Amino acid sequence: MNLPSHITPPPRRRPASAPDRAPVYAIVGNPNCGKTTLFNALTGLRQKVGNYPGVTVEKKIGTTWSQHGRPIQIIDLPGAYSLAARSPDEAVLRDVLFGRREDTPQPDRIICVVDAANLERNLYLVHQILDLGRPVIIALNMMDMAATAGLKVDAAELEGELGIPVIACEAVHGRGLVELKLAMSRVELPLARHRWDVPGPVAPAVTDLQASLRDHDARSPLIARAEALLLLTDFDAVRVAGSRPLSSRTHQILDQWRQRWEAEGTDWSGLLIRSRYDAIGLLCRDVIVRTRETGPSRSDRIDAVLCHSVWGWAVFAVIMAALFFSIFSLAESPMNFIDEQVAGFGGWVKGQMAPGDLRDLLTDGVIGGVGGIVIFLPQILILFFFVGLLESTGYLARAAFIMDRPMSKVGLNGRSFIPLLGSYACAIPGIMATRTIENARDRLVTILVAPLMSCSARLPVYLLMIATLLPGDTMPAVTKAAIMLGMYALGTTGVFFFAWLFKRTLFKSAPQHMIMELPPYQPPRLKEILRHMFERGWLFLKNAGTIILGISIVLWFLTAYPKHPNPDATATEQIAQSFAGQAGHLLEPVIKPLGFDWRIGIGLITSFAAREVFVSSMGVIFGVESAKDDTTPLRDALRAAHWPGGAPLFTPLVCLVLMVFYVFAMQCMSTVAVVKRETNSWRWPLFQIAYMTGTAWLVCLVFYQVGRTLGY
């Protein structure tokens, strides 16, 4: 059988110059071109997920096997329309391909995944990548969708034109993977016959910049030319931590040319883009054949409803309601199960060890602390399942489209909706999702307001306070649900208010342009959704769990030391004179105007690690755990608590004020750590702590004092 040129078996003896190690491939492509599906299909479960140091852009490396059984490493790079970066995601793609990152080796070969149904636009990025002079394989994905759209895309013709392997595939159905792996297994890959004429007015600038990049920035000649072309269209020059800066000489040449063109009125960037598209148009002339005219597609028909000004909102409301119902109802049983298992395990450890500090550290500090985070895993997984489902079907982009209008009222755009939605489960994945927001100011504002969304860690506090406020037998469930919804509404209002405030003060700027591709609707790919869900769940546990573990140990120390002089002292007496207790007493003058005493103060201090710690702290402080034969639940203990003068401590007003405090206060060390990493500075997390906790104090003060004046 005659095989196409690109899958010709390699020679028996490898050339002496061939590197001994297997080549490293980078997989690149536009957003929504099926790049990640192809990466998953090639690597299976052999993936390592991490972050590029200094930024929260995900770094995915996987392994596949060549036809000779040798491992091939593949780096999955973020999706981008162009190498002229507009966001940290795109900047990482550019910097890895140009070898600018210290932490990632420059890939030896590149797989460009292109959507066959949108070939010309997808080839723009390929055209820029071919400038790099690296071996490239083109994976012509979504051939089935191109056929549905009435297009015949000739892979052999494109291969003939470019002189590099072009593999037709359908990653979703696993078609074309064998051919792709065979091409990847080749010892040597041809370089592209890549010809295009740089427009006359900009050609001298390319030559100057190329020379400077070669001489002052130590670039190879080919990379220098590609980078020179890129610099002319890289207006924002988004730099991310870990990428090497350019020399001052290169900057100087670039500035000189820009000033000259501006004076002459030359649109140098437009010229370069048009010139590339002209070359792509010529390339595709015989590659794409329209076989038939098609009417409105399935996606068009669905969009007519889902993006409709009335029906669109109705469907959006139903989907959001289903999402929240699932998070709070489906998660209940697994959360109870985890809670019981953690408590059971803690009890078992307690039974196996002799009483002492080590036992308390393990049971109260380590198991209690980490258990407090693990319990939220079901909600996080359900949220990620839903987000994955919406993303996989193509609806998530429509949700951002629908939400663009309300978001624009506060100066943000639809892109901020997805991170904020994620923050209802946990602010950490929400903040990590902001990396797709192109505008740096919008991104920062979204990061600053995301923790105001009522995350699942606030739930235990709300539930305890509602139980204390409204005993189960005296108030209908609907009142409790209304209070709970009120807290969520308050947090969401806070998000919109502070976003509006920040966009008019700290981050004042004109409203931003938003341009966003809406991918075609597709049936959900359950395998990918589940993989994504578990990957995210694991990252959540790793990021949050490790920090919580450390903080829990520190907090345990603060509540366990110094030891009470009386060895028979109760847990309540011990905590009262511990470091945390002393801090609670110190804090009391500040929180007394809110109706809180020093015991609540300890809860506020300990729950700075994570909000849900407040509940366990109250249990320790009010001696519920130590009351061996007493089955009185915590809420009854709280309702029985009094000020020294005899007045009840947890009045309905104080319970409400405490809930309001948790709506606004920045009580989450893990979020602080993630914001620090995302913004690469302590300035913004410290500002966030100050503005959120300051607001919480002020709102609670007004709430409590007005409530007292009204006689509550």
Give 519 or 619: the residue with its C-beta nearer to another protein: 519
Nearest Cα neighbor of 33 from 91, 111, 128, 133 is 111
Rounded CA separation 599/621 (Å): 7
Contact (Cβ atoms closer than 8 angstroms) between residue 685 and residue 672:
yes
* Residue 361 beta carbon to another protein: minimum distance, rounded to whole angstroms: 53
Angstrom distance (rounded) from CA 681 to CA 213: 31
Strand 136-141 with 166-168, pairing: parallel
Least Cβ distance, residue 98 to another protein (angstroms) = 18
Cα(601)–Cα(591) distance, integer angstroms = 7
Instruction: Quote the least distance from Cβ 198 to another protein, whole Å.
Output: 17
Q: Is 707 exposed, middle or buried (0-12, 13-18, 19+ CB in 10 A)?
A: middle
Round to whole Å and give the CA distance between 116 and 29: 12
How far is the C-alpha of 77 from the C-alpha of 94, rounded, in Å?
9
DSSP assignment of 416-467 equals GHHHHHHTTT-HHHHHHGGGG--SHHHHHHHHHHGGGS--GGGHHHHHHHHH
Closer residue to another protein in complex, CB, 236/625: 236
Closest separation between CB of residue 318 and another protein, Å?
19
Nearer to another protein, 118 or 578 (CB): 118
Q: Two tokens at 526?
A: 């359950």
Whichever of 509 and 632 has its CB closer to another protein, that residue is 509
Task: Compare residues 241 and 516 and give the one whose CB is closer to another protein.
Answer: 516
Least distance to another protein from the beta carbon of 180, Å? 24
CB 606 within 8 A of CB 619: no
Q: Of 63 and 269, which has the nearer Cβ to another protein? A: 269
Shorter beta-carbon distance to another protein: residue 81 or 579: 81
Shortest Å distance, C-beta 236 to another protein: 6
Q: What minimum distance in Å lies between the beta carbon of 124 and another protein?
A: 6
* Closer residue to another protein in complex, CB, 381/514: 514
CA–CA gap between residue 98 and residue 245 (Å, rounded): 12
Q: From CA 397, how far away is CA 307, in angstroms rounded?
A: 11
CB atoms within 10 A of CB 50: 11
Positions touching another protein (CB under 8 A) are 81-82, 84, 86, 117-118, 120-121, 124, 149, 233, 235-236, 269-270, 273-274, 277, 299-300, 303-304, 307-309, 397, 400-401, 404-405, 408, 413-414, 511-520
- Could you give the angle at which helices 119-130 and 221-231 cross, rounded to 10 degrees? 130
Q: Is 217 helix (H, G, I), strand (E, B) or coil?
A: coil
Structure tokens of 583?
């801090």
* CB 156, min distance to another protein, A: 22
**Which residues are CB-contacts of 567 (< 8 A; sequence separation ≥ 6)?**
none
User: Which CB, 84 or 447, lies closer to another protein?
Assistant: 84
| Least Å from the CB of residue 115 to another protein | 9
Nearer to another protein, 281 or 562 (CB): 281
